Structure 1
Amino acid sequence: MKPSALLLPCAVFAALALALPAALAQSTAPVSATAAQDPVARLVGQLDLERYKETIRGLARFGDRKQGTERNRKAIDWIEAQLKSYGCATERIRYDYVPPAPRPPGSPRPAAAGGGRGGPAGQGGSTLFGTRAPTGVNQDPMAQPDERLRALNAEQPDPKGGPREEVVCTKVGSSRPDEMYIVAAHMDGLGFGEAANDDASGTALVMELARILNAPGVTTERSIRFALWNNEETGLNGASAYVAQRKDLQGIESPKGSGRYPEPRWLGMIQHDMMMFDHGMPVARTDANGKTVTAPPPEQRREADVNIEFQANSRQAEGSQKLAWAFRAANEQYATDYPAAVGPHMTNTDSTPFMDLVPSISLRENERGQQIGAGWNPHWHQPTDLVSTFSDKDFLLGLNAAQTTLAAIARLAGAQEKK
């Protein structure tokens, strides 16, 4: 059991479930005895490990997909083409990225955005729960020994910023098209690798859910928007731009009387950011050269889990916590290999711009408060964030996160499948 997980006794959880709004309460309702009679189980059963891995490989072909580069733009085109092939109606979100002003020499380091980049500042958490290892962002192309990847990742963005794009697609609800859940991940990365875990693993998860829920014969009562944000690594800029452009348009029918809602009312936002690597805390050991190194064990730990996080000090904390527990209940019923833990530290991913406006959670491989940024993933923002780095046990953790989200969203949005 993880120290910061917010674990409630069964009686408290039962009471909490009774307090959920109708859509969330539905997620804890009993299901039929056999999977054949359970539409959620049938949908979750369509997730496939090899297909999930193949989607991650497809994204890795574009290198680290750093924002503002040609490889980033090509990856967006590829994502949109895939979503269209699933029958999901796509849309480009356009915005201007303005880099922050340089920090004056000697000024205090600000809390890091977009995942705690830049060293210890902004990482949060405690040193009481295991050894910490140094983290950072690789800025050296020569740290990547693969010449092909060095060439692919060579282009760097214009330091002045400029216009950016990101893609979303929408499954329109059959009876409540004016209400919507947002299921999201960020498609940009950095580090001169392939950004396989951060965040092709989350992007592939969202794309796989879009594929399954947009298949012929599948309907949902409520709308679902699948969003692949850009500019997460620069400070959540793509998600923030979406919020700024769309928050005041929620629930407005356009044209009036048409039954169409370009921006349905937000019911919940679910972010996925790094899904695959939970090997445990860093430990000191001797490497093949006889050098003492501090790093996590090389194998996925048996007690690995999916971390479902809400932000305890957000304005929507109560609703976000209820949403998180609904996802944990879905994990208990439908995930095949790894359990889920709920924790109160969601900060520094693309759900943050939403968290004061709508119940918001993130799913991750490690806890934000005391593991991410403490060296629990040595490949984070490094040239080793490659598809080849991860084993099937790692990919399986990501697939279990997909099972968790698909099951929860299917229940919340009222998904049905024609037999």
Structure 2
Amino acid sequence: MSRSSAALLFSLSALATAVAPGTVSAQGNVLPAPVIAVDSADPVSVLVSRLDLERYKATIKGLTQFGDRRQGTKRNRDAVDWIEAQLKSYGCANVERLTYEYNPPAPTPRPAGAGGATPQRPAGPPMSAGGGRARGVRTRTGVNSDSLRQPDARLRALNAEPSVPGERQEVYCTKIGTTRPDEMYIIGGHMDGIGWGEAANDDASGSAIVMELARIFSDPAVKTDRSIRFVLWNNEETGLNGARAYVEQRAKLQGIEEPKGSGKYPEPKWLGMIQHDMMMFDHGMPNADGTMRKEQRPEADVNIEFQSNSKMAKQSADLAWFLHGANAKYATDYPAQVGPHMTNTDSGPFQDLVAAISLRENERGTQVGSGWDPHWHQPTDLFSTFSNADFKLGLNAAQTTLAGVAKLVNATLARAK
């Protein structure tokens, strides 16, 4: 067994004990969940306890001040600046930017008489690419490109600037491992959005997870054997271009010591990539008339997906089940489930190179693509749309990833003197 495989599996049995989720009332309201006592002798338990619902919400709120953060706009660049400042305020080491060019082809003219607005999302793989067969009630999905569907004049004005081709940047920072700085796990979420809303769920909810984990792991008292990189991707909505640029620029640099003999590795060897994309809305299948239930469904869960036809399918499945075990032991409210159909998110460019998984609110190909989230790419993707039960689902995904990665990198806490 390779060192990286051993790292993935070394404590899986320790995560087998399940924790019951919070109970749910007949009206679908999440009642206070049984509190999982913090085990001061277990550094993972202590680190998970440092995740806080109000802090998570505040980070999402901070991202929504920039509207939908559409790539190629000032509001997107302002959000990148804000993310960088936040990471630095956490004490996250080596805050850096990756720069790349995005010059999309001109849109194909519509045939005469076709009517309708040109979608903002370019043609690409169908939503069900790599996904399972859709079942049950399906409703229309798509990208809103009509500014007048946003009733808030302030937000409409903020989102009015169109995207232009050219230079793009995305921010990342790194927790340096103490004994294996040459190996790392990548934790990602995309900070750009579309649809004339605030992109609160897609994907401030995932970006906030990345930022909150960066905050917690950046505590100088936290030591890890292996490195962790926290990346806020750009250009996800145009076809994963920010993640693709990262792979193109940095895959070949893995594990190279620079300068030689320094003990520094600008791009440690990738052991796994964990993506977070749309984390909060699991209200179930649409009703027969296309409406949705107002409350989070009692059986809401954190979906952990890998791609079963990728070159790294087995390693990705192992990583997915490892995080499933972490959820069972450390998450407070919602359980996790593992699925084999990861698609259309920033883990895709990594899936044939390293163990790659995605955490999200629903199955991407079969549920999100069938209208299970009516706010997806819509003006209603606003901070105010979501309830505490929704935000808690995102927080439980954060607990899942934090616990799993803390185990994988052998995180420890220095004792206070």
Specify the alignment match of 1:139 in structure 2.
145
Shift of 1:117: 7.7
* Residue 88 in structure 1 maps to residue 84 in structure 2: no
Are the counterparts in 1 of residues 285 and 372 from structure 2 also a CA contact under 8 Å? Answer: yes
SS at match of 1:255: coil
Return the offset for 1:190: 0.6
Q: 1:143 to 1:99 in 2, by over 3 A?
A: same
Determine which of 189, 197, 202 is the counterpart of 2:201. Answer: 197
1:414 to partner: Cα distance: 1.1
- Equivalent residue number for residue 243 of structure 2: 239
Taking structure 2 as the reference length, what is the TM-score of the superposition? 0.88
Distance in 2 (CA, whole Å) between partners of 1:215 and 1:68 is 33
- Does residue 400 of structure 2 align to residue 404 of structure 1? yes
| 1:122 equivalenced with 2:127 (yes/no) | yes
Q: Provide the rounded CA distance (Å) in 2 between the counterparts of 1:163 and 1:105.
A: 28
Corresponding residue of 2:5: 21
Residue of structure 1 in register with 2:232 after alignment: 228
| 1:216 Cα offset (Å) | 2.4
- Give the 3-state SS of the residue equivalent to 1:399 in structure 2: helix
- 2:295 corresponds to which residue? 299
Please report how far the alpha carbon of residue 298 of structure 1 lies from its aligned counterpart in structure 2 after TM superposition. 1.1
1:20/1:322 contact within 8 Å kept: no
Question: Where do residues 16-95 of structure 1 align in structure 2 (5 Å cutoff)?
Answer: 21-30=5-14, 35-89=39-93, 90-95=95-100
Distance of 1:126 and 1:250 partners within structure 2: 33
Question: What's the CA shift for 1:28?
Answer: 1.3
Instruction: Give 1:280 deviation, angstroms.
Output: 0.1
Aligned equivalents of 1:230, 1:237: Cα separation in 2 = 7
CA-CA distance at 1:344 after TM superposition:
0.7
Partner of 1:268: 272
- TM-score using structure 1 length: 0.88
- 1:118 Cα shift? 7.0
Q: Which runs of 5+ in 1 are unaligned?
A: 1-16, 107-115, 285-292
Following superposition, the deviation at residue 94 of structure 1 comes to: 0.1
Deviations 1:208-228 (A, max 9, x none): 000000012011100000000
- Within the candidate set 375, 380, 387, 1:379 is matched to 375
- TM-aligned CA deviation for residue 104 of structure 1: 6.9
Number of paired residues? 385
CA RMSD of aligned residues (A): 2.3
* % identical equivalent positions: 67
State the one-letter code of the partner of 1:25.
L
Aligned to 2:167: 163
Name the structure 2 match of 1:313. 309
List 4+ stretches of structure 1 deviating above 3 A: 31-34, 100-106, 116-122, 124-128
**Residue number in structure 1 paired with 2:24:** none
Which residue of the other structure, out of 212, 215, 219, is the alignment partner of 1:211? 215
1:133 and 1:295 in contact (8 A); partners too: no
Report the Cα offset of residue 121 of structure 1: 4.1
Aligned residue number for residue 8 of structure 1? none
- What's the secondary structure of 2:203's corresponding residue? helix
